[in-house]
Structure 1
Amino acid sequence: MSKDMVALLKTAPDEESVEAALAAAGAEVWVSDVGDGGALKISDREGGQVVALVEAPILVQVPGELERLLGPEVAHLEPPIWWVEVHASEEVENAEVPALRFAAELSLRLDGEVWFDDPAYADRAGLRSR
């Protein structure tokens, strides 16, 4: 299982915004690619444990699809929207902190917002809850 969040972006992610989001995740983590699919692995520098997986962006173009998948709180977002899923490990304490910091920075830079399945994540990451 994982602690899930989704960056919902009006602008397509680019290398500069992803690098800034990775920097925002914190100095205590490092990043590596996962195969050829565009996914990224965020790992803890001390123990080397994977704290989060960032999936490759997906362009959502179907009206109503975001609401169907995530609920009425995202109904105001009109496609096209770039969907970037971030899965924080439940096995690593506070793994949601760098994961949510990554997603939040990406959404700040690319005119978006972050959906997450537990409002407590924002408090632990030092961010404003929705």
Structure 2
Amino acid sequence: MSNDVIALLRDEPDEEAIIAALAAVGPDVGVTALGEGGALEVRDEGGRSLLLVEAPILVRVRGELERVLGPEVAHVEPPVWWVEVQGNEQVANSDIAAMRFAGELSLRTGGSIWPADPAFVDRAGFGAGDA
């Protein structure tokens, strides 16, 4: 399984949604803002880099999601906020942490995750089977 997950969100994630997504990863994570671009580094309880959360990007161009992610997202209509969550492949279960972060963010802001996880898709704002 890839350690990268993309959250496709209807609403721009606010501080409350980010905090909830961090809590979904675990109670003992640390966070560092990287530069002034809005990216976050999430560290596990041992201080190891667990996730890199990129700053949200607003996608407005019709067909851009399908071009980048494939036909399974062709029905998702812009505008959507794109948040990429990259798990550290050298840390066990970073793929699960990335899925938890992106899934909680999508539940809070309306949207879904790619690649789709059936545990989250049915509760997301795009409807069952959406990415």
TM-score by length of 1: 0.86
RMSD: 1.8
For 1:114, the equivalent position in structure 2 comes to 113
- Structure 2 unaligned spans of 5+: 122-128
Identity %: 55
Check if 1:85 corresponds to 2:103: no
Q: CA deviation at 1:128?
A: 5.4
Structure 1: which amino acid aligns with 2:15?
A: E
Structure 1: which amino acid aligns with 2:111?
A: G
Check if 1:29 corresponds to 2:29: yes
Distance, in Å, in 2 between the alignment partners of 1:100 and 1:55 is 14
Structure 2: which amino acid aligns with 1:115?
A: W
For 1:5, the equivalent position in structure 2 comes to 5
Q: CA deviation at 1:76?
A: 1.2
Distance, in Å, in 1 between the alignment partners of 2:120 and 2:78 is 25
Q: CA deviation at 1:99?
A: 1.4
- Structure 1 unaligned spans of 5+: none
Q: CA deviation at 1:32?
A: 1.4
- Would you tell me which structure has more strand in proportion to its own residues? 1
Distance, in Å, in 2 between the alignment partners of 1:128 and 1:76 is 18
Q: CA deviation at 1:115?
A: 0.2
Q: CA deviation at 1:64?
A: 0.3
Q: Deviations over 1:20-69 (max 9, x none)?
A: 111111114221111111000111112x1101100000000000000000
Q: CA, structure 1 residues 87+68, in 2 after alignment: closer, same or farther (shift >3 Å)?
A: same
